Amino acid sequence: MAMAGDAARTVPPLSLTGPRLAGQEDLLTPAAQAFLVDLHRAFEPTRQQRLAARAQRQARFDAGALPDFREDTRGIRDGDWTVAPLPAALQDRRVEITGPVDPKMVINALNSGANCYMADFEDSTCPTWENLLVGQRALRKAVTGQLDWMAPDGSKHYVLDATSKTVLIVRPRGWHLDEKHVLVDGQRMSGSLFDLGLFAFHNAAGLHAKDRGPYFYLPKLESMEEAALWDDVLAFTEVRLGLPVGTMKVTVLIETLPAVFEMHEILHALRGRIAGLNCGRWDYIFSYLKTFRRHRDRVLPERGQVGMTQPFLKAYSELLIQTCHRRGAHAMGGMAAQIPIAGDPIANEEALARVRADKLREANAGHDGTWVAHPALIPVAREVFDEKMPTPNQQQVRREDVAVTRDDLIRPSLGTITRKGFDNNVEVCVRYIAAWLDGQGCVPIHWLMEDAATAEIGRAQLWQWLHMADNGGGHLHLDDGTPVDFSLFDRALMTLPSKLADRMKLPGGSKINEAIALLDELTHANELVPFLTLPAYERLG
């Protein structure tokens, strides 16, 4: 007779709840699943603590506190220490292409001639079960040099160039995202642990044999404690996968306002394995908005006016360069949103000129390399960095002239909110959410690259502008004097479909009504939802 205890023992610790995809058992082997279970059990409680700490800190900002450098870590900031030496493959990172992980993108990126390719499970990937597994499979084949892909209409066969020197760096999802298709002991697993764990499980040995890591970009950290959690995860993974300690190198995106006050601390927490910090400007702007969502004196102007020359962003990038170069780490630049404009040479040259100006600013400021969103932008970025940076990196540029204070990092910005800017936020949010709900994490809108980070700026701005009157002090106003109130928003939202010509031909065109409903709900809600991808994820299959 079976005993109750026997039944409990036979329940598998991990269950897969996503649609069953052909060949998924090659990735989710019993050994891979066992590794994911171990990762979950070892780190999920701490992940939850770190997420709770984020909410507690935000509650203090909502009550009027301002972010500042920490007293308890002064010793780390003042101490003389450097990070572990960087591997040869990460010495010269002057141009990094980034992009989603479908096979065509992976092949195009690795064949692009960029120094590195950041394969992105985060801002530019919508985490459908299929996108994740197709991406993991493509990367696994890329690591073994066997990736190819045929266009569905048979028009082109894409083959990975065996001579490609582009270094692969993988960006897993941030700590806030769950993987709902993988339950461990009945709980959803962390998206970060799933992405990193599965990639490392299959590719660590192959990459290590080629002196290529594995290497990772870590997104959206808010504190040194979150960096320490990553360090523990990586150390655990190295031991379990038989890699020498410190082989797995990471670059951390400084893309939240709280994290900019802990850059030395984050480098220190990861000092055995960190290769650099990156200015993830789009999420950083989003985080500034979120941190100050209740602070009337720090409302930002419309998205198009928040460029890297705004004082708070200039201070952030310069402090990042100074911090990295003092500690022996790379200071990577970020992403200009312009992409090539097909069929309009004049507009295209203007877009390229804006990218060039952005890269020139980065190279002159002391960045060691930069990001591009599209292969056609590689020559633009390379030309600038080759001219300004004849050495593999410019860590010798110490930027000791930089004296950035807390006030510089949170300085209010000058600018306006125009009707065009308001309506543009509404349109971009709806169109991006529609594409995302349709499985696409990165799309061109008005010839700008839009991903989860850029769209979040528009979404958070709408919420902040419309809820500013809740705190007293009345409504904000457009530059023409119109009050920024819900009638303005409701009208813009409801009239949008009639303004979108050929909407069914847009990415995610069939999801426009669903996107309108979600933006409406998020914007009218009394609290700013921390990430739009959290409620949007619940709407994915």
Ligand X SMILES: CC(=O)SCCNC(=O)CCNC(=O)[C@H](O)C(C)(C)COP(=O)(O)OP(=O)(O)OC[C@H]1O[C@@H](n2cnc3c(N)ncnc32)[C@H](O)[C@@H]1OP(=O)(O)O
Q: How far is the CB of 409 from ligand LL5AMS7Z (least distance, A)?
A: 17
From the list 86, 69, 81, the residue with the least C-alpha distance to 368 is 86
What would you measure as the largest C-alpha separation in the chain, in angstroms?
Answer: 80
375 binds ligand X (CB under 6 A): yes
Of the candidate spans 36-44, 102-110, 132-140, 348-356, the one that interacts with ligand X by CB under 6 A turns out to be 102-110
Distances (CA, A) of 494 to 438, 483, 513: 21, 18, 10
Out of 191, 280, 366, 421, the only residue in the binding site for ligand LL5AMS7Z (CB under 6 A) is 280
* Angstrom distance (rounded) from CA 394 to CA 269: 23
Q: Are 172 and 62 in contact (CB under 8 A)?
A: no
Pick out residues in 250-269 that bind ligand LL5AMS7Z (CB under 6 A). 253, 255
Q: How far is the CB of 219 from Mg ion (least distance, A)?
A: 6
HSE-up (13 A, CA, CB side) for residue 75: 1
Q: Is the peptide bond before 103 cis (omega within 30 degrees of 0)?
A: no
Of the candidate spans 120-128, 136-144, 191-199, 236-244, the one that interacts with ligand X by CB under 6 A turns out to be 120-128
Q: How far is the CB of 335 from Mg ion (least distance, A)?
A: 9
Q: Closer to Mg ion at the Cβ: 121 or 465?
A: 121
Q: How far is the CB of 522 from ligand LL5AMS7Z (least distance, A)?
A: 19
Pick out residues in 337-366 that bind ligand X (CB under 6 A). 339-340
Buried b (16+ CB within 10 A) or exposed e, 135-150: bbbbbbbbbeeebebe
Q: Closer to ligand LL5AMS7Z at the Cβ: 261 or 286?
A: 286
Q: How far is the CB of 159 from ligand X (least distance, A)?
A: 12
Instruction: Please give the structure tokens belonging to residue 381.
Output: 């970025």
- The C-alpha angle with vertex 217 and arms to 211 and 221, in degrees rounded to 5, equals 145
Catalytic site residue from 399, 451, 459, 503: 451
Pick out residues in 93-132 that bind Mg ion (CB under 5 A). 123
Look up residue 322 and give its amino acid.
Answer: Q
**Which of Mg ion, ligand LL5AMS7Z, ligand X, none is residue 100 near (CB under 5 to 8 Å by kind)?**
ligand X
Catalytic site residue from 54, 94, 140, 171: 171
Beta-strand runs (E) in 17-162: 95-99, 116-120, 148-150, 157-159
Out of 47, 176, 298, 374, the only residue in the binding site for ligand X (CB under 6 A) is 374
Q: How far is the CB of 96 from ligand LL5AMS7Z (least distance, A)?
A: 11
**In 162-262, which residue ranges form alpha helices assigned H by DSSP?**
191-209, 224-241, 257-260
Torsion sign across C-alpha atoms 506, 511, 514, 515? negative
532 binds ligand X (CB under 6 A): no
**Per-residue contact track with ligand LL5AMS7Z, 335 to 374, x per CB under 6 A?**
x---------------------------------------
Adjacency order of strands within the sheet including 14-16: 14-16, 178-184, 187-190
Of the candidate spans 300-308, 335-343, 487-495, 514-522, the one that interacts with ligand X by CB under 6 A turns out to be 335-343
* Angstrom distance (rounded) from CA 347 to CA 338: 11
* Angstrom distance (rounded) from CA 250 to CA 240: 18
Q: Closer to ligand X at the Cβ: 97 or 252?
A: 97
123 binds ligand LL5AMS7Z (CB under 6 A): yes
Known catalytic membership, residue 47: no
Q: How many residues sit close enough to ligand X to count as binding (CB under 6 A)? A: 25
Q: Is 51 left (phi over 0), alpha (psi -120 to 50) or beta?
A: alpha
- Measured between alpha carbons, how far apart are the two ends of the chain, in Å? 40
Known catalytic membership, residue 211: no
Q: Closer to ligand LL5AMS7Z at the Cβ: 47 or 281?
A: 281
Q: How far is the CB of 502 from ligand X (least distance, A)?
A: 16
Adjacency order of strands within the sheet including 167-171: 330-332, 274-279, 249-254, 215-218, 167-171, 116-120, 95-99, 370-372
Instruction: Please give the structure tokens belonging to residue 70.
Output: 């920490």
What residues are labeled active site? 171, 451
Interface contacts to ligand LL5AMS7Z, rule CB under 6 A? 123, 253, 255, 280-283, 334-335, 453
Interface contacts to ligand X, rule CB under 6 A? 97-100, 104-105, 108-109, 120, 123-124, 282, 335, 339-340, 373-375, 442-444, 449, 451, 453-454
